[in-house]
């Protein structure tokens, strides 16, 4: 069992986070006092290099921390997970550049989804234009990143030797961007996942990187040999598992005291409820164990060989996709089993149900990721975009 300092910090903060969940949902962002507590506990530095005062946690340990936070509040866990994934970029920057971005005690990097920006190469850097959405945690970030396709002087897109489009991530202080408050959603409201834009912004070369390109890795820690999508997929799956586990605990507490209308016994005394609870518990534990094992074996492979095999990458993809799907179905089953108690605004069932379905709409939860794994298993070339 994980007994690291960061996991203990997450457990210690869980009651504070749970108590703030209503404020988080209403304000659509993490409150300042909670952000302060997360910084003091070092939970925004889980995947930063140790040279920058980070923990550089092994992914199997990281996802346990995320699940613990999610059991208290999914939006808080999502912000920590998302910005931790962004902080992996420190391993791809030269030490001085990494210190420029992450050296301040409360430094946080956030970014939006997709290489939807354009970066034109100019002397000493890039001229950047773009607008990005879904920037979770950006309201308490100090830096933002923008994933861009590199454009040539004639307006065409640059390509590598294989013909693939060249993408680079541009890092810049948050105050350089125009922020649009457009995060009006049904679940994960507290992530404050706003949109932001820059126009003709110069970004120097040393503050740009290509993610998941081994040739650009500067930090020797094995953590940075994991693909960014491995961290996001398993981290967000652990948010979903934390939600499902918390709803399970809520349901067990409810079943112990609720006597449904027109029945003689408590909900917990129903044989059908007992069987369903046991099956859901088994599914939750199995999904959690699959993620942990896939990441632990991945770390062993990196330590032995310096990189992950395609087989291992596919196993991690399968574990994350399986956990995301299972957690959603467990949440639905528990919501239904709770009956009318689950439908009231402000109930833990209602909020976690909304949050769970917001998680399940995210790109890492797409069902076609199973097709990617299946193609590989059947000997066909898979799409490696999210693997």
* pLDDT of 2 strictly over 70: no
**Each residue of 192-202: pLDDT tens digit?**
999 999 999 99
Asked if 74 and 173 sit in the same domain, the reply is: no
Is 217 part of any domain?
no
| Of 74, 102, 130, the domain-final residue | 102
Q: Is 140 domain-assigned?
A: yes
Alpha-carbon distance of 235 to 241, in angstroms, equals 10
Residue 71: CB atoms within 10 A of its CB come to 25
| Per-residue pLDDT, 328 | 97
pLDDT at 176: 98
Residue 146 lies in a domain: yes
Residues 121 and 85 reside in one and the same domain? no
Residues 244 and 361 in one domain: yes
What's the number of domains the chain is made of?
3
Helix H, strand E, coil C: the string for the chain is: CCCCHHHHHHHHHHHHHHHCHHHHHHHCCCCHHHHHHHHHCCCCCCCCCHHHCCCCCCHHHHHHHHHHHHHHCHHHHHHHHHHHHHHHHHHHCCHHHHHHHHCCCCCCEEECCCCCEEEEEECCEEEEEEEEEEECCHHHCCEEEEEEEEECCCCCECECCCCCECEEEEEEEHHHCEEECCCCCCCCHHHCCEEEEEEEEEEEHHHEECCCCHHHCCCCCHHHHCCHHHHHHHHHHHHHHHHHHHHHHHHHHHHHHCCCCCCCCCHHHCHHHHHHHHHHHHHHHHHHHHHHHHHHHHHHHHHHHCCCCHHHHHHHHHHHHHHHHHHHHHHHHHHHHCHHHHCCCCCHHHHHHHHHHHHHCCHHHCCCHHHHHHHHHCCCCCCCCCC
The per-residue pLDDT for 385 is 87
Give the domain CATH number at 293: 1.20.140.10
Q: What is the pLDDT of residue 36?
A: 97
Q: State whether 20 and 68 are in the same domain.
A: yes
pLDDT for the residue 46: 98
User: How many Cβ atoms from other residues are within 10 Å of residue 60's Cβ?
Assistant: 18
pLDDT at residue 189 in the model: 96
Q: Which of 325, 337, 336 is nearest to 365 (CA)?
A: 325
Whether 176 and 61 have beta carbons less than 8 Å apart is answered as no
- Is the alpha carbon torsion for 356, 357, 358, 362 positive or negative? positive
10-31 mean pLDDT: 96
What pLDDT does 387 receive?
Answer: 84
Query: 263 with 369, same domain?
Result: yes
pLDDT score recorded for residue 305: 95
Does some domain include residue 385?
Answer: no
* pLDDT at residue 254 is higher than 70: yes
pLDDT of residue 163: 84
Residues 249 and 294 in one domain: yes
Q: Is 219 within the bounds of a domain?
A: no
160 pLDDT above the threshold of 90: no
365 and 302 part of one domain: yes
Residues in the chain: 387
Same domain, 134 and 242: no
Examine the domain organization and report whether 239 and 300 are in the same domain. Answer: yes
The burial of 246, by beta-carbon neighbours within 10 Å (0-12 exposed, 13-18 middle, 19 or more buried), is given as buried
Q: What pLDDT was estimated at residue 3?
A: 62
Relative to beta strand 194-204, strand 125-135 is: antiparallel
Average pLDDT over residues 203-212: 96
Examine the pLDDT at 155 and tell me if it is beyond 90: no
**Structural domain containing residue 163:** 109-210
- Of the candidates 235, 188, 237, the residue with the CA atom closest to the CA atom of residue 88: 235
Together in a domain, 203 and 305? no
| pTM, to two decimals | 0.95
More confident residue, 2 or 249: 249
The CATH number covering residue 117 comes to 2.40.110.10
pLDDT in tens, 114-144: 989 999 999 999 999 999 999 999 999 999 9
Q: Percent of the chain at pLDDT above 70?
A: 99
How confident is the model at residue 88, as a pLDDT?
Answer: 97
Check which CATH number belongs to the domain holding 78 and give it.
Answer: 1.10.540.10
pLDDT digits (tens, 9 = 90+) for 169-191: 999 999 999 999 999 999 999 99
Rounded percentage of the chain residues whose pLDDT exceeds 90:
89
Sign, Cα dihedral of 122, 123, 126, 127:
negative
Q: Are residues 66 and 143 in the same domain?
A: no
Boundary residue ending a domain (102, 127, 150): 102
94 with 181, same domain?
Answer: no
Residue 215: inside a domain: no
How confident is the model over 328-376, as pLDDT tens digits? 999 999 999 999 999 998 888 999 999 999 999 999 999 999 999 999 9
Tell whether 142 is covered by a domain.
Answer: yes
- Tell me which of 105-109, 155-159, 322-326 is least confident: 155-159
Q: Is the pLDDT of residue 1 over 70?
A: no
Give the model confidence (pLDDT) of 288-331 as tens digits: 999 999 999 999 999 999 999 999 999 999 999 999 999 999 99
Q: Is residue 16 assigned to a domain?
A: yes
Pick the last residue of a domain from 150, 182, 210. 210
């Amino acid at each position: 069992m994980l007994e690291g300092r960061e996991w203990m910090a997450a457990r210690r903060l869980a009651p504070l986070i749970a108590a703030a969940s209503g404020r988080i949902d209403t304000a659509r962002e993490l409150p300042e006092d909670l952000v302060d507590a997360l910084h003091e506990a070092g939970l925004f530095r889980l995947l930063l290099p140790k040279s920058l005062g980070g923990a550089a946690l092994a992914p199997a340990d990281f996802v346990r921390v995320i699940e613990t936070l999610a059991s208290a509040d999914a939006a808080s866990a999502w912000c920590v997970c998302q910005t931790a994934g962004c902080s992996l970029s420190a391993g791809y920057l030269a030490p001085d550049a990494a210190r420029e971005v992450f050296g301040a005690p409360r430094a946080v990097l956030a970014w939006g989804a997709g290489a939807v920006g354009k970066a034109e190469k100019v002397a000493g850097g890039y001229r950047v234009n773009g607008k990005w959405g879904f920037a979770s945690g950006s309201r308490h970030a100090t830096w933002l990143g923008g994933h861009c396709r590199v454009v040539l002087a004639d307006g065409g897109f640059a390509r590598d030797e294989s013909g693939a489009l060249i993408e680079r991530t541009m890092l810049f202080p948050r105050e350089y961007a125009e922020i649009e408050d457009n995060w009006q959603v049904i679940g994960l409201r507290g992530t404050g996942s706003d949109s932001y834009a820059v126009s003709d912004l110069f970004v120097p070369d040393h503050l740009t990187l290509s993610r998941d390109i081994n040739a650009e890795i500067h930090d020797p820690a094995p953590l940075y040999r994991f693909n960014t999508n491995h961290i996001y997929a398993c981290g967000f799956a652990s948010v979903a598992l934390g939600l499902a586990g918390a709803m399970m605990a809520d349901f067990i507490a409810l079943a112990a005291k609720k006597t449904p209308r027109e029945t003689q016994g408590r909900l917990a005394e129903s044989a059908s409820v007992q069987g369903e609870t046991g099956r859901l518990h088994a599914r939750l534990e199995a999904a959690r164990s699959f993620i942990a094992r896939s990441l632990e074996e991945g770390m062993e492979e990196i330590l032995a060989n310096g990189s992950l095999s395609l087989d291992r990458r596919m196993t991690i993809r399968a574990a994350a996709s399986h956990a995301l799907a299972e957690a959603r179905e467990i949440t639905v089953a528990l919501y239904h089993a709770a009956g009318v108690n689950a439908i009231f605004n402000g109930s833990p069932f209602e909020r976690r149900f909304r949050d769970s379905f917001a998680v399940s709409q995210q790109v890492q939860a797409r069902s076609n990721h199973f097709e990617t794994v299946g193609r590989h298993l059947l000997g066909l070339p898979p799409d490696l975009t999210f693997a």
